[in-house]
């Protein structure tokens, strides 16, 4: 074991102990040796099952973490995490029967919604975006399908994201054929309208084929964030629940050469009186600008004046950020992967005034045998001390799942400073 790796592993345990971020057995979930996290099952049929960037494959319900994962038969199934053994257990509930699809999972406290589709811009029905709904039986701890698949997006797109507004209406968004599209349920969740392009004024909805969109329900509204690499912007549009489909307002969040990239993860806190929206985005600044921001946290308070905080810089070589929010502890956690794969890193900050220490952060999922770990994913939900947090990732060359799990505690600046000091030795 190298001295640097030993110090990093020792420091991780020390930092998490000081911050109260301990795993289910009062320590981080760790594999054998210096590695951080747990090596899970292998998968087949799909190279990156834990992508795409805006999507969530995990949810928390009834004291368990659950996931949409590929099984040995190449089918998507519901799995749950046994917290004592830190092993994912396959259930009998099958999700999308099409192996080469990727899903976004929404648990609303009553039902599980899974929006799933293929990732190529094609009219093939094999790639259509479809919706499944499941009910949960607490007595048997099982899910049963209520309905689905119901087509909610014709053809393929890089991603599809779903959420539910305060009136109970389901919304989706996706990018297809150079446009941002929306669709929503009608009188029942089984009935859906025809997808329509984003109608917001003041922003450019015409995008490149590499751009994506994501959405979130917040404060009686639905908000959509998307990248536009054609005009170097990141944009936001919102719609009041119950308003006409055409009633969208648009804002330019960021505008700068090389600012836009198709890596976005979006969250809000249900019931937050301030109506805040939080997004983490990746920039496209060139490698020659080492001090330029690579991962940014964007916060929109009720007054609409977006604020930004640098999570990491170009020199840190990070990508595919995911944000998780713990309102009870008033903290947020950002997970990022190495560009090109390698490991998943964690940074935390206070929710009210987020600032991040320099550097990559704390190694959260890493393994000497799996050196291309990438595409972290977690839940749409807010998290808590009761739930802890779980992040799932995958190693594409080995077609291998890995994860880590931690409980949560308050962020304390001294522990972050100690960590950085030790890492720099």
Residue 165 and residue 243 share a domain: yes
The per-residue pLDDT of the chain, averaged, comes to: 89
Q: Which of 247, 281, 298 marks a domain boundary?
A: 247
Q: Which of 134, 155, 176 marks a domain boundary?
A: 155
Considering the domain boundaries, does residue 269 fall inside one?
no
Q: Tens of pLDDT along 137-193?
A: 999 999 999 999 999 999 999 999 999 999 999 999 999 999 999 999 999 999 999
The pLDDT of residue 411: 54
**CA–CA separation, 167 and 186 (whole Å):** 11
Cis peptide leading into residue 79 (ω within 30°): no
The pLDDT of residue 12: 44
Considering the domain boundaries, does residue 377 fall inside one?
no
Q: Which of 193, 215, 247 marks a domain boundary?
A: 247
Considering the domain boundaries, does residue 60 fall inside one?
no
The total number of structural domains in the chain stands at 2
Q: What is the pTM of this model?
A: 0.89
Considering the domain boundaries, does residue 226 fall inside one?
yes
β partners of residue 237: 224, 250
CB atoms closer than 10 angstroms to residue 84? 8
Considering the domain boundaries, does residue 198 fall inside one?
yes
Least confident of 10-14, 237-241, 398-402: 10-14
Q: What is the mean pLDDT of residues 397-406?
A: 97
Considering the domain boundaries, does residue 228 fall inside one?
yes
- DSSP code for 346: E
Residue 139 and residue 121 share a domain: yes
More confident residue, 422 or 75: 75
Considering the domain boundaries, does residue 39 fall inside one?
no
Residue 241 and residue 186 share a domain: yes
Considering the domain boundaries, does residue 204 fall inside one?
yes
Could you tell me the pLDDT band of residue 34, with boundaries at 50, 70 and 90?
Answer: low
Residue 171 and residue 151 share a domain: no
Residue 240 and residue 169 share a domain: yes
CB atoms closer than 10 angstroms to residue 370? 24
Residue 29 pLDDT exceeds 70: no
Q: What is the mean pLDDT of residues 93-114?
A: 97
Cβ–Cβ < 8 Å for 160, 153: yes
- Determine the structural domain holding residue 97 and report its residue range: 75-155
Q: Tens of pLDDT along 298-315?
A: 999 989 999 999 999 999
Residue 149 and residue 83 share a domain: yes
Nearest 5°: phi and psi at 265? Answer: -135, 130
């Amino acid at each position: 074991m190298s001295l640097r790796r030993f110090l990093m592993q020792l420091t991780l345990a020390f930092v998490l102990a000081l911050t109260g971020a301990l795993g289910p057995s009062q320590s981080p979930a760790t594999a054998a040796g210096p590695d951080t996290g747990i090596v899970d099952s292998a998968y087949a049929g799909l190279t990156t099952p834990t992508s795409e960037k805006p999507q969530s494959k995990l949810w928390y319900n009834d004291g368990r973490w659950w996931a949409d994962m590929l099984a040995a038969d190449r089918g998507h199934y519901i799995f749950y995490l046994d917290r004592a053994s830190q092993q994912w257990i396959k259930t009998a509930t099958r999700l999308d029967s099409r192996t080469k699809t990727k899903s976004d999972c929404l648990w609303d406290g009553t039902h599980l919604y899974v929006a799933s589709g293929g990732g190529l811009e094609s009219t093939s029905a094999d790639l259509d975006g479809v919706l499944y709904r499941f009910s949960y039986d607490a007595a048997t701890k099982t899910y049963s399908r209520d309905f689905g698949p119901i087509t909610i997006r014709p053809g393929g797109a890089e991603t599809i994201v779903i959420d539910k507004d305060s009136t109970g209406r389901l919304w989706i968004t996706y990018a297809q054929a150079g446009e941002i599209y929306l669709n929503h349920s009608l009188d029942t969740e089984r009935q859906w309208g025809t997808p329509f392009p984003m109608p917001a004024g003041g922003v450019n909805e015409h995008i490149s084929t590499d751009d994506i969109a994501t959405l979130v329900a917040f404060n009686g509204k639905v908000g959509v964030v998307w990248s536009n690499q054609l005009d170097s912007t990141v944009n936001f549009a919102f719609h009041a629940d119950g308003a006409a489909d055409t009633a969208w307002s648009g804002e330019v969040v960021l505008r700068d050469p090389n600012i836009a990239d198709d890596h976005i993860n979006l969250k809000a806190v249900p019931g937050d009186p301030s109506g805040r929206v939080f997004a983490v985005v990746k920039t496209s600044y060139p490698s020659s600008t080492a001090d330029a921001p690579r991962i940014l946290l964007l916060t929109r308070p009720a007054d609409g004046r977006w604020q930004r905080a640098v999570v990491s810089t170009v020199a840190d070589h990070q990508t595919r950020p995911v944000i998780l929010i713990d309102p009870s502890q008033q903290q947020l956690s950002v997970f990022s992967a190495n560009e090109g794969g390698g490991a998943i890193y964690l940074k935390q900050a206070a929710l009210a005034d987020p600032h991040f220490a320099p550097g990559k952060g704390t190694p959260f999922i890493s393994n000497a045998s799996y050196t291309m770990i990438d595409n972290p994913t977690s839940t749409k939900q807010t998290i808590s001390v009761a739930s802890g947090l779980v992040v799932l990732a995958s190693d594409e060359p080995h077609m291998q799942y890995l994860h880590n799990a931690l409980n949560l505690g308050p962020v304390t600046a001294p522990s972050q400073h100690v960590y950085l000091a030790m890492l720099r030795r």
